[in-house]
């Protein structure tokens, strides 16, 4: 029997009992749609988690610190420090899979413009690789390395709104009009790291400000206190909001080191060491290997992938649970296919006997019944997949109201759904097919 004849005959056998075939296909439709929608919900949750993590930073970045925590067998832990310096930075750059390395130093300062002042958190970074690490500007450009007596700076987005008069406490920005007396284009700005330059004359709102102890200041008020300088700074841009660095004002790391050395009695900032170095990998697949190599060098490391892996494990467990729930419906459908095929054998026993007597091979008879089962699986899987896309669009369009993807059906899941439903149908039809193949031709012909 030719393959085309088998396909045509199998289809006609199903068509003769349309209602039963439709009900059996409907069982596969429900089973396939259930399992696809359930798994798509798990995939959607997983992708939403990845997007949430990406908002907090790139998944290809590794934060390196000098302190490493190691948990011991007794449940306790030990912390060890390995100096993080320029040699460390060069060593990181040589690790395979590393795209860029950025040391960073951080300090506080005060920006003064006329009678108004605001405090700022200043981040010094290697500006040559800053864009690789997600430093985004809402306007302007990145600072140039320090030249002459002028220092360039990128203000954090909130800086211009926070200027106030330390003597009166009055804001520079009018709360009614939103117009500030301090503007980027018309105002001049000075930077100092010494709070006494800001609060020494009359303190804050007329009240004396206590001077900090330590960090260069003498505990004895009678002793002369170190006095910090004012440095002219030119704002050349503004940081974008909504990322990890939006609250920092940005300067060239070498310029900030120079300022720290000139104000070492006040700032107490070690310019020979780094409290943190950022490492960016070429690809997300390189992160684990690079992270391990840095760990082996004695440094503490953290990557968003650490948290993401934990989230992925939870997501995979959820997908298995949801898939199992959908699988129950598919199992019921598989039992329905087996029942349909067994009933078909009992109804067509005489027909099977005649086919055998006419010389049809047993393998062709088994193939005929398996083809019928495959038809049921294919149509059930294809229609179920179409319904799954409709349900997915309904969930995303109406329940999520365009705010995200609650259900995601990737191409591989669509193909898997149809192939799997056909596979389940074939397995379900295996026993009836073997039973039909083993029927005695004479007994089958005599049956009524």
Torsion on CA atoms 393, 399, 401, 405, rounded to nearest 10: -50
Q: Where are the domains of the chain?
A: 3-54+309-446, 62-282
Q: Are 388 and 33 in contact (CB under 8 A)?
A: yes
Residues 380/421, Cβ–Cβ less than 8 Å? yes
Per the CB < 8 A criterion, the answer to whether 265 and 143 are in contact is: no
Average pLDDT over residues 340-369: 71
Task: Assign 195 to helix, strand or coil.
Answer: coil
Distance CA 16, CA 19 (A): 9
> What per-residue confidence (pLDDT) applies to 293?
94
Tell me the pairing of strands 276-281 and 189-192: unpaired
Tens digit of pLDDT for each residue in 376-435? 889 999 999 999 999 888 888 776 665 667 788 889 989 998 999 899 888 888 887 777
Question: In Å, how far from its chain's centre is CA 33?
Answer: 27
Secondary structure class of 123 (helix, strand, coil): strand
CA atoms within 13 A on the CB side of 17: 17
- Asked whether 144 and 251 are in contact (CB, 8 A), the reply is no
pLDDT of 209 > 50? The answer is no
- The pTM (predicted TM-score) of the whole model is 0.61
pLDDT > 70 fraction of the chain, expressed in percent and rounded: 81
Q: Has residue 236 got a pLDDT over 60?
A: yes
pLDDT tens per residue, range 128-182: 888 888 888 888 888 877 665 679 999 998 898 899 998 888 999 888 888 888 8
Residue 205 — pLDDT band, cuts 50, 70, 90?
A: very low
Structural tokens at position 403: 């705010």
Q: Say if CB 224 and CB 143 are below 8 A apart.
A: no
Determine how many CB atoms are found less than 10 A away from the CB of residue 210: 8
Query: In the structure, what pLDDT confidence band is assigned to residue 212 with cuts at 50, 70 and 90?
Result: very low
> Percentages helix, strand, coil for the chain, rounded to the nearest 5?
50, 20, 30
Residue ranges of alpha helices (H) inside 358-440 are 362-394, 411-437
Q: What are phi and psi of 27, to 5 degrees?
A: -60, -40
């Amino acid at each position: 029997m030719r393959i085309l004849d088998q396909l045509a005959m199998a289809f006609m056998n199903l068509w003769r009992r349309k209602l039963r075939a439709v009900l059996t296909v409907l069982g596969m439709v429900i089973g396939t749609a259930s399992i696809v929608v359930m798994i798509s919900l798990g995939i959607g949750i997983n992708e939403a988690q990845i997007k949430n993590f990406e908002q907090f930073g790139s998944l290809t970045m590794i934060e390196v610190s000098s302190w490493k925590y190691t948990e011991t067998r007794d449940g306790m832990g030990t912390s060890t420090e390995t100096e993080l310096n320029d040699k460390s930075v060069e060593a990181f750059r040589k690790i395979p899979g590393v795209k860029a390395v950025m040391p960073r130093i951080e300090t506080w300062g005060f920006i003064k413009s006329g009678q108004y002042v605001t405090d700022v958190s200043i981040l010094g970074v290697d500006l040559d690789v800053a864009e690789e690490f997600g430093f985004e500007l809402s306007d302007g450009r990145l600072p140039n390395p320090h030249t002459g007596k002028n220092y360039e700076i990128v203000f954090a987005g909130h800086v211009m709104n926070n200027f106030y008069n330390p003597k009166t406490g009055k804001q520079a920005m009018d709360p009614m009009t939103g117009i500030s007396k301090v503007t980027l284009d018309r105002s001049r700005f000075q930077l100092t790291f010494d709070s006494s330059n800001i609060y020494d004359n009359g303190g804050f709102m007329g009240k004396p400000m206590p001077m900090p102890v330590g960090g260069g200041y003498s505990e004895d008020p009678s002793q002369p206190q170190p006095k910090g300088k004012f440095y002219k700074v030119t704002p050349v841009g503004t940081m974008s909001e909504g990322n990890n660095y939006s609250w920092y004002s940005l300067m060239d790391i070498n310029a900030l080191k120079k300022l720290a050395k000139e104000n070492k009695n006040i700032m107490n900032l070690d310019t020979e060491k780094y409290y943190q170095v950022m490492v960016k990998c070429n690809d997300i697949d390189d992160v684990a290997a690079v992270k391990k190599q840095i760990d082996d060098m004695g440094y503490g490391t953290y990557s968003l992938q650490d948290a993401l892996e934990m989230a992925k494990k939870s997501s995979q467990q959820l997908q298995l649970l949801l898939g199992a729930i959908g699988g129950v419906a598919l199992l019921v459908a598989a039992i329905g296919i087996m029942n349909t095929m067994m009933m078909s054998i009992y109804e067509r026993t005489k027909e099977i006997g005649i086919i055998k007597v006419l010389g049809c091979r047993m393998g062709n008879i088994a193939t005929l019944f398996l083809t019928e089962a495959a038809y049921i699986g294919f149509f059930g899987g294809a229609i179920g997949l179409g319904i799954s896309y409709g349900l997915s669009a309904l969930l995303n369009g109406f329940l999520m109201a365009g705010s995200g993807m609650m259900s995601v059906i990737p191409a591989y899941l669509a193909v898997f759904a149809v192939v799997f439903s056909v596979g389940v149908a074939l397995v379900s039809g295996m026993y009836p097919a073997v039973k039909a193949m083993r029927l005695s031709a004479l007994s089958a012909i005599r049956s009524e």
